[in-house]
Amino acid sequence: MKNINKTVLSGVQPTGGLHIGNYLGAIKNFVSMQTEYECFFCVVDLHAITVKQDPKLLKNNTYEVVATYLASGIDPVKSVIFNQSNVSSHSELAWIFNCITRMGWLNRMTQFKDKAGKDKENASSGLFIYPNLMAADILLYKATHVPVGDDQKQHLELTRDIAQKFNREYECDGFFPIPEPIIDKNISRIMSLKNGELKMSKSDPSDYSRISLIDSADQIEKKIKKAKTADTTMPDNNEDVSKLLEVNNLLNIFSGFSGIEKVELIEKYKGQNFSNFKNNLTEVIIEHIKPISKEIEKLMGDKSYLNQIISSGAEKASEKANVTIKEVYDIIGLVRNEA
Ligand code: TYM
């Protein structure tokens, strides 16, 4: 039985090549939350276009995220799967939040600094105000819980600030709930297989830094074989493991997929070199990823089914979003044409 006072919203950008970081850090949690919470999962295509996208690829990547949601176990009967640009009130509420958020708040966003890099002057203004659109995604559904990876924590804090400022300034205490991030401690930041100091990312130039959800068994095996470990054997305690960033990361991935506690894994592999550990890790990843990648492939061949999901999702999402945007217009004194 779902608790309607507990609403989840989360999103993934259709920028191609979803990897095991996206899966363990976010999508796996989406699946487990859908029985208890009212859930909205969107493909955030409007976020994707804050950097230039090839239109054909963008379309394909959008279908691929929908297929990944379904293949990972999101049930379109229990959850609403939709495409952000199909529900126009996301953009409307984002504009209103552009007028609420202070420049100082946005100036502190580290992800803008990372993504804009040295050439800040040339970044799109959309990239700068991106967190306001993310806040709109969440608050439009009055979401109370937001499952995300650790890299989205700061954007969630900003969303909370926006909700509080709106409620306070317009004297509508409790109108927007203050959403809680759901961040799983060990798997919320899966790191690159080549460098334990860098996050696993779609944009890393090396394909060997990540495992994509559609990698073949051979590719997974090669990538794990090449993954950096350490010149020592597996330590016998968590404290020493934490100092070996790449080993720690592989243990987190192993634990994330298998459900076996990290301490148990350390106990099993302590004192050994990493080849046995890597073989077992490869098996565990393939066992979990294979059914997902097979299903993604199958679904990508059935665009009419995916279109059906997108269309019914937009309808269901709009129902809730339209109520909120109407209330917001009324609260801030915008007159809507109701004729
Ligand atoms: P995006 O598309 O970059 O990533 C999708 C989800 O995957 C998580 N993630 C990771 N988790 C663990 N380890 C990693 N290496 C890793 N890389 C990515 C992200 O934290 C995210 O949860 N701004 C968001 C999308 C968004 C959104 C929203 C999320 C737009 N509106 C509203 C939640 C609620 C983003 O760019 O995610």
What is the reported pLDDT for 294?
97
| Active-site annotation holder among 142, 199, 223, 228 | 199
Is position 118 annotated as part of the catalytic site? no
Is position 6 annotated as part of the catalytic site? no
Q: What is the mean pLDDT of residues 248-265?
A: 97
Q: Is the pLDDT score of 3 beyond 90? A: no
Residue 25 CA, ligand 1 centroid: distance in Å: 8
Domain 207-298 class in CATH? mainly alpha
| Amino acid identity, position 132 | N
Task: Extract the tokens encoding 104.
Answer: 């100082």
154 vs 109: CA distance, rounded Å: 7
Q: What is the mean pLDDT of residues 307-327?
A: 98
| Active-site annotation holder among 78, 115, 262, 270 | 115
State which CATH number among 3.40.50.620, 3.40.50.261, 3.40.50.300, 3.30.420.40 fits the domain covering 3-188+303-332.
3.40.50.620
**pLDDT category, 4, cuts 50, 70, 90?**
low
Q: Closest Cα to residue 95, out of 337, 334, 339?
A: 334
Q: Which of 148, 156, 182 gets mutated to test ligand 1 (max ligand atoms within 8 A of its CB)?
A: 148
Nearest residue (CA) to ligand 1, atom 27: 11
pLDDT in tens, 290-312: 999 999 999 999 999 999 999 99
Nearest residue (CA) to ligand 1, atom 14: 21
200 vs 207: CA distance, rounded Å: 10
Give the residue carrying structure tokens 């801030």: 332
What is the reported pLDDT for 187?
87
What is the reported pLDDT for 221?
98
pLDDT in tens, 145-190: 999 999 999 999 999 999 999 999 999 999 999 999 999 888 899 9
What is the reported pLDDT for 1?
66
Residue 201 CA, ligand 1 centroid: distance in Å: 10
Query: Do 3-188+303-332 and 207-298 show the same overall fold?
Result: no
User: Which residue ranges make up each domain of the chain?
Assistant: 3-188+303-332, 207-298
Ligand 1 atom nearest 22 alpha carbon:
7
Per cent of the chain over pLDDT 70 is 99
What is the reported pLDDT for 186?
81
Ligand 1 pocket check for 14: Cβ under 6 Å:
no
Average pLDDT, the chain: 96
Q: Closest Cα to residue 69, out of 107, 108, 118, 33?
A: 33
Q: Is the pLDDT score of 338 beyond 80? A: no
What is the reported pLDDT for 53?
97
CA torsion angle for 253, 259, 263, 267 (degrees, to 10)?
-90
pLDDT in tens, 68-125: 999 999 999 999 999 999 999 999 999 999 999 999 999 999 999 988 888 889 999 9
Kindly report the pTM of this predicted structure.
Answer: 0.96
Q: What is the mean pLDDT of residues 251-260?
A: 97
Longest pairwise C-alpha distance within the chain: 75
Ligand 1 pocket check for 9: Cβ under 6 Å:
yes
CB 180 within 8 A of CB 159: no
Is position 202 annotated as part of the catalytic site? yes
Q: What is the mean pLDDT of residues 46-70?
A: 98
Task: Extract the tokens encoding 259.
Answer: 């459900």
Would you say how long the chain is, in residues? 339
